[in-house]
Amino acid sequence: MEGGKTLTKPVNIHILESKLQYIEGENIIEANLKDVVMLKIGQEKYIPIKGQMMKIIIENEKGMIALMILGNFEAVVEEGGAYGSSSNTLATMKLSSIDIGGKNIMNHMELKANRDLGKSLPLIFKYFVVVDGNTIPATRKGIEEYLQTPEKIKLFRKFIKTNKINWNKPDNLNKILDFFA
């Protein structure tokens, strides 16, 4: 927290908007991320970036690679229709619970009794390069848009070709930090 204050509470990072929530008594409170410097859960560290909590994957003196995890609610809604069409009824039947905007009209005892019948929500993993206070999508296109000038883009393309960057492997993204050094 700001000013070096530390809190120890049960926490959750909500996968709808990657917001930090904690329990205060009997209430679930959404944290004001302007007050949060870092969150530590076991050995994992999370930081607020642009109003969303992101997990630090790689951190060194050059910068960091951060991961934002979101729920893929659209995939659940689209799944299961005949001939590839959408079937909202079928898809929503697969969810154990969904609470959007604080509105939930489901019977909690029924949810508890049927919780094993639910389906895991697919997740979306978005990686970001964080350097010099800038948060850049960890994609070739995202970095080229950040670089803007043709000279820098040319250098970057040569760098990724030389270093054989595999954008699908998070451990491989640490090489990108070398480009910004």
Please state the rounded mean pLDDT for residues 90-113.
54
141 shares its domain with 56: yes
pTM of the model: 0.72
Residue from 21, 18, 20 nearest 29 by CA: 21
53 shares its domain with 131: yes
151 shares its domain with 110: no
The pLDDT of residue 27: 84
The answer to whether 63 and 176 have CB atoms below 8 angstroms apart is no
Q: pLDDT, tens digit, for every residue of 64-73?
A: 999 998 888 7
Total domains in the fold of the chain: 2
Distance CA 122, CA 111 (A): 20
87 shares its domain with 44: no
Higher pLDDT, 88 or 158: 158
Domain region containing 96: 73-117
Question: Helices (H), strands (E): how many in the chain?
Answer: 6, 9
The answer to whether 176 and 65 have CB atoms below 8 angstroms apart is yes
- Could you give the percent of the chain with pLDDT greater than 70? 73
Q: pLDDT, tens digit, for every residue of 122-144?
A: 888 899 999 988 999 999 999 99
6 shares its domain with 64: yes
